[in-house]
């Protein structure tokens, strides 16, 4: 009889275990980003801690081995527990998502010198840096399907509330410093309301109203209790907190889990802001600084166009300290910069309209108005010279096959011509590569295309082709 009872108990225990794991919802997870990339994916997490278990403390739960690893670092400055939900994400980051998590660790070392001092100065846990990790993988260019942008994945409306400007010229949600300032302010406000970092970070993901409603409905301020109720919060939000805890556990014990992050550079700490008094082309600024234009863009990822924005008294541009910044400051002082020398120009002729000019150059009317400080869009005097921002101010022609290629003024590698190819319906990378005598992997590299990325008609591809091929296909 005792043996039968023992078998029944073991069978019941196994059934409970299997049921718990199957409820984890092993759906597809997009590992490239954080919250923005996992919207609606479900993740790998279970439905919550067992009802009979009290919520474990951080120290108690982390004293046990994690995937067989005795943690060397358990010094978290915000609540971190190790339960089934957290374990599922630890397993994911060490398994299917390992190569992505490795990239996130490298990027974290690049940006933590910006983020953590801001958190510390505001009296917030420095481990909130892991919220940015699961939001975006620290990519300044991360963008969700819903339109959230940057390392902290601000929606345009929320970003505006915290002072982040977003228009045709700039999107400060992509600025690692300004976006971090906004996130620090927002997180501080959320914690002030909920007095719980689990609830505050859940609210960062779901919004304050949803968390308030969950608390009112379930009469508890315990995130783990709320997370058991599938109707209280979306699965994305129920996954969000344990996912961040798992990221913190692994990142603080990276080498024990077999990760070897690249040492972070001090590039961001070795920059200084230089005021550019008038709109200026980034190409001209990079030339004055004697640095590559791509480096200038990387240091100022909020800039969406070829130039600093107009209608500002001056624009603070981030430049490497030392010689580069000094050269730009000297060029501004001498008047070399700020004269629109490196812009396209159009002289207005009788019958011209801004709509026609904007259409020909593939830029919004508002951009031309702003850059030229026009008092009226209706009264254009013939002979007036307009400065046109880059946005397609290049020659467009149709080839005999009906495709479109744009001959850009951007210099390419030696002996190569830089083209912008406009994708047509039915185009494939293989067909484009044959037409322009380039390799598919080169097209992917030039345009940061993943293997699964589909070509959308109307989108543009950067190509670097021989001068002969360019002449034949334009």
DSSP-assigned letters across all residues of 357-379: HHHHHTS-HHHHHHHHT-S-SS-
Task: Give phi and psi for 341, each to the nearest 5.
Answer: -65, -30
pLDDT value at position 42? 28
Q: What is the pLDDT of residues 311-340, one digit of tens each?
A: 677 899 999 999 999 999 999 999 888 766
pLDDT digits (tens, 9 = 90+) for 346-397: 888 888 888 888 888 788 887 788 777 677 666 778 888 787 876 533 332 2
Nearest to 421 by CA among 434, 406, 409, 408: 406
Going along the chain from its start, the domains and CATH numbers come out as 9-257 (1.10.530.10), 271-334 (no CATH), 344-388 (3.10.350.10), 395-473 (3.10.350.10)
Residue 171, pLDDT > 60, answer: yes
User: Is it the case that residue 410 has pLDDT exceeding 90?
Assistant: no
What whole-number distance in Å separates Cα of residue 260 and Cα of residue 98? 12
User: E strand or H helix at 243, and its extent?
Assistant: helix 235-252
Asked if 251 contacts 133 with a C-beta cutoff of 8 angstroms, the reply is yes
More confident residue, 49 or 263: 263
* Mean pLDDT computed over 229-233: 94
Contacts of 150 (CB under 8 A, 6+ apart): 136, 140, 141, 142, 171, 173, 174, 175, 176, 179
416: enclosing H helix or E strand: strand 416-422
Six token digits for residue 168: 């045709």
Is the pLDDT at 159 greater than 80? The verdict is yes
Residue 194's pLDDT band, with cuts at 50, 70 and 90, is very high
Write out pLDDT tens, residues 21-54: 222 222 223 333 343 333 333 222 233 333 233 3
pTM: 0.67
User: In this predicted structure, what is the pLDDT of residue 98?
Assistant: 94
Average the pLDDT over 402-426 and give the result: 58
pLDDT value of position 414? 56
Q: Are 443 and 449 contacting, i.e. CB atoms less than 8 angstroms apart? A: yes
103-142, pLDDT tens digit by residue? Answer: 999 999 999 999 999 999 999 999 999 999 999 999 999 9
Outline where 30-137 has alpha helix (H). 35-38, 58-62, 84-94, 98-121, 129-136
């Amino acid at each position: 009889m005792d043996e039968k009872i023992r078998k029944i108990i073991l069978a019941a225990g196994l059934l409970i275990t299997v049921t718990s794991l199957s409820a984890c919802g092993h759906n597809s997870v997009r590992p490239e980003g954080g919250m923005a990339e996992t919207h609606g994916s479900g993740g790998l997490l279970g439905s919550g801690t067992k009802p009979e278990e009290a919520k474990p403390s951080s120290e108690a739960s982390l004293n046990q081995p994690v995937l067989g690893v005795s943690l060397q670092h358990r010094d978290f400055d915000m609540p971190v527990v190790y339960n089934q939900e957290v374990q599922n994400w630890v397993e994911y980051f060490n398994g299917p998502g390992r190569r992505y998590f490795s990239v996130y660790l490298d990027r974290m070392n690049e940006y933590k010198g910006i983020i953590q001092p801001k958190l510390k100065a505001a009296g917030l846990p420095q481990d909130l840096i892991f919220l940015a990790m699961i939001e975006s993988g620290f990519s300044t260019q991360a963008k969700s399907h819903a339109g959230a942008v940057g390392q902290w994945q601000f929606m345009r409306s929320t970003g505006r509330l915290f002072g982040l400007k977003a228009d045709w010229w700039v999107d400060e949600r992509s600025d690692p410093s300004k976006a971090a300032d906004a996130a620090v302010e927002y997180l501080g406000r959320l914690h002030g309301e909920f007095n719980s970092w689990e609830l505050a970070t859940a609210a960062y993901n779901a919004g304050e109203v949803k968390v308030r409603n969950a608390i009112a409905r379930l009469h508890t301020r315990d995130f783990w209790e709320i997370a058991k109720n599938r109707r209280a919060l979306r699965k994305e939000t129920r996954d969000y907190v344990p996912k961040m805890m798992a990221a913190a556990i692994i990142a603080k014990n990276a080498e024990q889990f077999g990760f070897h992050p690249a040492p972070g550079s001090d590039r961001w700490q070795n920059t200084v802001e230089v005021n550019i008094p008038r709109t200026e082309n980034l190409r001209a600024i990079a030339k004055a600084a004697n640095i590559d234009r791509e480096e200038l863009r990387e240091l100022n990822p909020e800039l969406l166009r070829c130039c600093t924005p107009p209608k500002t008294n001056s624009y603070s541009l981030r430049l490497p300290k030392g010689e580069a910044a000094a050269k730009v400051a000297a060029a501004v002082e001498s008047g070399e910069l700020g004269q629109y020398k490196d812009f396209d120009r159009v002289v207005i002729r009788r019958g011209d309209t801004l709509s026609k000019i904007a259409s020909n150059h593939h830029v919004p009317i508002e951009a031309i108005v702003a850059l030229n400080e026009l008092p009226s869009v209706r009264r254009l005097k013939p002979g007036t010279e307009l400065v046109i921002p880059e946005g397609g101010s290049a020659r467009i022609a149709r080839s005999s096959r009906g495709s479109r290629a744009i001959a850009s003024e951007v210099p390419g590698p030696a002996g190569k011509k830089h083209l912008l190819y406009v994708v047509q319906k039915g185009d494939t990378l293989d067909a484009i590569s044959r037409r322009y005598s380039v390799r598919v992997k080169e097209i992917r590299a030039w345009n940061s295309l993943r293997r699964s990325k589909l070509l959308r008609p109307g989108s543009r591809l950067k190509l670097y082709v021989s001068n002969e091929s360019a002449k034949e296909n334009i």
